[in-house]
Amino acid sequence: MALWDRVKESAQAMQSQLEAKKNELKSGAFRDASMAMCALVAAADGTIDASERQRVATLIATNDVLRNFAADDLRRRFDDCLDRLAADFEFGKVALLQEVAKAKKKPAEARAVIQIGIVIGGADGDFDKTEQGVVREACFALGLAPHEFDL
């Protein structure tokens, strides 16, 4: 099986797992951690280009699990997270990982945040090493083992 097929299959499996838990994923901590995770994945290489920003924003708006929240609110939060990274990438990254860590209190939400990161990272068929790296860092922030997610 080609690498692209494995990435796509893994992202689809994560999305299916998320959809199964959709009704459990309605807290503000999950919402905020998910938007921080999306921003971290979008800017994983240290740059935030307009096309990547738009692609991830579209994925957020169309993700069935995230429809528990108002799309305009998610977009605003996502943009705020990206703005923090643009202002000072390293400081912003630390702040966003702290935001991700707030989902640690509920194991289902913590796992879902990681799954969101994998879905977003793998949506273009190329879950690259930098994207995997920030998702791995988020695992550590949440007290989860990256190998549970094949990272």
Domains, the chain: 3-17+28-149 (1.10.3680)
CA pair distance 94, 74, nearest whole angstrom: 20
Q: How far is CA 4 from CA 19, 124, 127, in A?
A: 23, 9, 9
pLDDT the model gives residue 133: 95
Confidence check: pLDDT of 137 > 90: yes
Q: How many CB atoms lie within 10 A of CB 80?
A: 13
10-19, 39-48, 93-102: least confident range: 10-19
Q: What is the pLDDT of residues 120-131, one digit of tens each?
A: 888 777 888 999
Q: What is the pLDDT of residues 82-119, one digit of tens each?
A: 999 999 999 999 999 999 999 999 999 999 999 999 98
Classify residue 110 as exposed, middle or buried by CB count within 10 Å of its CB (0-12, 13-18, 19+).
buried
